[in-house]
């Protein structure tokens, strides 16, 4: 298992849900049904594996719940952890703090909902962290698909607008208020609703 070492100062945190038919993609379920939502989520998980497995950064996989049945992620490549905290903002904050406490200098956080995200964009995020204090990848709905930091700042994750179209704007305001610099990546879309699914159809395996 690839834990942090003196030579590696970068880490990526990946947030995923366990592959459970009753627990994935609730918003998508309402419009396309459980079976299709589960199939789409499996493809998003596979896509996330493909774009992260070759990265030189240490890879931390944060499940919403650890189970003995999750074997699709190679234990020699990914360090498996369980999310802690009530809401998503707290869970991401706790994971970020935990990883920075291990001595990393650059940390990038992603989920598994963005099929437009690729390895090139993630590598760009790490490169920009050599020059900027933070990196943000905005989504079309006002959130973000990626955030990268050079140090843990709790204020960034405890915002009133979490889960709203104002999240990116408020995050940038907070970063600026802390006197930190930022780099903006390209705007991408995530799969949350059936409209998002239709927009991303070209990325899905037939």
Average pLDDT value over all residues in the chain: 82
* Residue 117 scores a pLDDT above 80: yes
Query: What pLDDT, in 10s, does the model give residues 149-205?
Result: 999 999 998 877 676 778 899 999 999 999 999 999 999 987 555 455 555 554 454
Can you give the length of the chain in residues? 206
In contact, 15 and 62? CB cutoff 8 Å = yes
In the chain the domains, ranked by start, together with CATH numbers, are 10-203 (3.90.550.10)
* Residue 38 scores a pLDDT above 80: no
Higher pLDDT, 46 or 136: 136
Percent of the chain with pLDDT over 90: 52
In contact, 17 and 64? CB cutoff 8 Å = yes
* Residue 25 scores a pLDDT above 70: no
Question: Residue 54: phi, psi to the nearest 5?
Answer: -95, 0
* Residue 98 scores a pLDDT above 90: yes
Strands 10-16, 78-82: pairing kind: unpaired
* Residue 7 scores a pLDDT above 60: no
């Amino acid at each position: 298992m690839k834990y942090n070492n003196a030579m590696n100062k970068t880490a990526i945190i990946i947030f995923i849900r366990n592959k459970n038919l009753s627990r994935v993609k609730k918003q998508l379920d309402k419009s396309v049904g459980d079976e299709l939502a589960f199939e789409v989520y499996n493809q998003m998980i596979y896509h996330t594996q493909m774009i992260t497995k070759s990265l030189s950064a240490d890879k931390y996989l944060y499940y919403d719940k650890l189970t003995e049945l999750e074997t699709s992620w190679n234990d020699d490549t990914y360090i498996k952890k369980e999310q802690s905290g009530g809401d998503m903002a707290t869970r991401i904050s706790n994971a970020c703090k935990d990883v920075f406490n291990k001595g990393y200098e650059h940390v990038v956080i992603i989920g598994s909902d963005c099929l437009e995200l690729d390895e090139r964009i993630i590598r760009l995020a790490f490169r920009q962290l050599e020059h900027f204090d933070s990196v943000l990848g905005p989504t079309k709905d006002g959130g973000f698909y990626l955030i990268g930091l050079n140090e843990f700042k709790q204020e960034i994750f405890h915002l009133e607008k979490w889960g709203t179209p104002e999240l990116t704007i408020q995050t940038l305001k907070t970063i600026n208020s802390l006197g930190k610099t930022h780099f903006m990546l390209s705007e991408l879309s995530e799969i949350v609703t059936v409209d998002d699914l239709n927009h991303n159809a070209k990325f899905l395996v037939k």
